[in-house]
Amino acid sequence: MSFLSSASPKLAPWKVLLVDDEPDIHDITKLTLTRFRLDGRALSFVHAYSGAEAKQVLARESDIALVFLDVVMEKEDSGLEVARWMREDLDNQFTRIVLRTGQPGQAPEERVIVNYDINDYKEKTELDRTKLFTTTFAALRAYRDIMKVEEARRAQLNYREGLERVIAASAHIFQQRNLKDFAGGLLQQVVALLRLENSMLLRLRGATAISGENDYEILAQIGDDDATMLSADVLAQLDAAKSNKISRLQGDTYIGYFPNSSGKASLLVLKGVDEISEIDAKLLEVFCSGVAIAFDNILLTQEITDTQAELILRLGDVVESRSNEAGNHVRRMSEICHLLACAAGMPDDAAAVLRHAAPMHDIGKIATPDAVLLKPGKLDAAEWEIMKQHPSVGLSILDGSQRPILKAAAVIAHQHHEKFDGSGYPQGLKGHDIHLYARIVAVADVFDALMHKRCYKEAWPIDRVVAHLREVSGHHLDPVYVELLCQNIDQALAINERFPD
């Protein structure tokens, strides 16, 4: 219809293997089929002059559409052996086989077609120009038809395997328990799934009037550095996704938009998506809809966990506020305990439980009368006895729960005034009879009291604090954790700076 169509790229020819020990047969077949076309595609010929040679060619070239196969060559049944070998040993079910024989007596048509998985049988004398043409046409058409179905089968298989990869990748994603692992795992899976090595997961920061880079918090990133990933171009696409609230593929960049119930959307940036196949694009869609759910779940869990942490801190605050201690004591305690636990190589889960439980250590003071708790001067013996009840009261408040955090809080409340040498209260426990958590809390508690001003003392300088800690190490405090605190004193001071009195 147009001038341009004649300039369309030349279609790949159908590959035809001619197997015959007579060179003349090769020449005449080639000549006869010179002008042959099926679906606009011509023929290209591969030649073999013996059964052995034919096997070599067939083993090497998997895209042969049709074989014209002579029967009698180096042996009387060489061609039949090639046919058998193709189907049985090479497991080639698709190449069409047309047997051509000059001595039909050697291979009677009916016997051959029943015993060998061939597609047509011709005596050489039968094959005039027209018959050769129509035989070739029918055979190639059959090859085309079966390959079309085979390709559709392979496409389904590919897609099915893709879905299986998506399911495996999603399973991995759904097993992540916190935002950091989720974000990292997500990009890992995107790379595994689509071999896209430039990707980034962002989260919208809280609502802001100013648009730009600062709107987005990068949760995880693979590949390019920020500069390229957050180019003006990508930013414009992110802003568009944000305001239109939809995922979109534009140019080589896919922007996945995942809203969530808490109203804070997240965005997935994938670069190089123009090179992925249609199937991969569909798999990406399936995967991303799962990601959206997993992301929502993660944020919900995070919300509950954060609420829990905040509740505990406020509970700690409330207790401390009665003793007129400044508000950030429990936050610092919590972080220093976590620092020591991590430094000691405690598993993440156990360290997280300690971090959440530590702020409740003084909860028993809730029951300490004002007259004792708020007395400005030194306590007398009777008052001191009342004061020393707060660990047992703390235990009674927190006791009996099955929750790991509350169980930890109970033992911490009960044992945080025990001393390593057995001189503490209320039970006078010694060494490792004191729960690990309580020994860590004791170190953090003493450190915090020394570092800060209290009604009964000034804040001490750091050198004096470290010296004192070393002095009481092994007596009041577990030497292991005193040592870990001294080794990580810079991080401990950074915590103090983050949460001043």
Q: Which of 100, 495, 177, 116 is nearest to 337 (CA)?
A: 495
d(CA 412, CA 391): 9
Strands 198-204 and 266-271: antiparallel
Of 118 and 339, nearer to its own copies (C-beta) is 118
124 is an interface residue for its own copies by CB under 8 A = no
From candidates 120, 239, 285, 421, binder to its own copies by CB under 8 A:
120
* Ramachandran area for residue 431 (φ above 0: left; ψ -120 to 50: alpha; else beta): left
- SS3 percent helix, strand, coil of the chain, rounded to 5, is 60, 10, 30
Of 289 and 389, nearer to its own copies (C-beta) is 289
**Cα R_g (the chain), whole angstroms:** 40
d(CA 328, CA 334): 10
- Applying CB under 8 A, what is the total number of residues that bind its own copies? 75
For residue 365, indicate whether it is catalytic: yes
- Longest CA pairwise span in the chain (Å): 127
Residue 135 C-beta: closest distance to its own copies, Å = 9
From candidates 286, 342, 379, 486, binder to its own copies by CB under 8 A:
286
Of 228 and 262, nearer to its own copies (C-beta) is 262
- What residues have CB less than 8 Å from 391, skipping those under 6 apart? 364, 413, 414, 415, 416, 417, 425, 426
467 is an interface residue for its own copies by CB under 8 A = no
d(CA 119, CA 103): 19
From candidates 222, 240, 326, 397, binder to its own copies by CB under 8 A:
397
Of 41 and 322, nearer to its own copies (C-beta) is 322
Residues 66-105 that bind its own copies (CB under 8 A): 93
Stretch that binds its own copies, among 153-161, 267-275, 335-343, 375-383 (CB under 8 A): 153-161
CA dihedral of 57, 61, 63, 66, whole degrees rounded to 10: 0
Catalytic residue among 55, 75, 242, 365: 365
Contact 206, 223 (CB under 8 A): no
Residues 160-189 that bind its own copies (CB under 8 A): 160, 163-164, 166-167, 170-171, 174-175, 177
Of 322 and 388, nearer to its own copies (C-beta) is 322
Q: Which of 338, 350, 332 is nearest to 447 (CA)?
A: 332
Stretch that binds its own copies, among 55-63, 144-152, 215-223, 429-437 (CB under 8 A): 144-152
Strand partners, 271: 198, 253
Stretch that binds its own copies, among 53-61, 149-157, 221-229, 263-271 (CB under 8 A): 149-157
Of 234 and 319, nearer to its own copies (C-beta) is 319
From candidates 11, 12, 59, 157, binder to its own copies by CB under 8 A:
157
Strands 198-204 and 14-19: unpaired
Residues 400-439 that bind its own copies (CB under 8 A): 401, 403-406
What is the distance between the terminal CA atoms of the chain, rounded to a whole angstrom?
A: 84
Q: How many CB atoms lie under 10 A from the CB of residue 126?
A: 13
Residues 293-322 that bind its own copies (CB under 8 A): 293-294, 296-297, 300-301, 303-308, 310-312, 314-315, 317-319, 321-322
Residue 337 C-beta: closest distance to its own copies, Å = 18
Residue 116 C-beta: closest distance to its own copies, Å = 10
Stretch that binds its own copies, among 116-124, 380-388, 422-430, 431-439 (CB under 8 A): 116-124
Report, as residue numbers or ranges, the catalytic residues. Answer: 365
